[in-house]
Chains A and B, each alone.
Chain A
Amino acid sequence: MGVIYILLSISIVVAIIFFIAFIYAVKNGQYDDSYTPSVRMLFEDEIIKDQKNPTVKTKKTN
Chain B
Amino acid sequence: MKVKSTNNKISRSLLYVVLLILTAAMLVPFAWMLSASLKLDKDVFIFPIRWIPQNPRWMNYIDIWTKIPLMTFVGNTVKITLIVTFLQILTSSFAAYAFAKLKFKYKDTLFMAYIATIAVPWQVYMVPQFMMMRNFGLNDSHLAIIFLQAFSAFGVFMMRQFYQGIPDELCEAARIDGMSEYQIYSKIMLPLSKPALSTLTIFTFVNTWNDFLGPLIYLKTESKKTLQLGLKMFISQYSSEYGLIMAASVLSLIPVLIVFLSLQKYFVEGIAATGVKG
A binds B: no
Task: Report which B residues bind A (CB closer than 8 A).
Answer: none
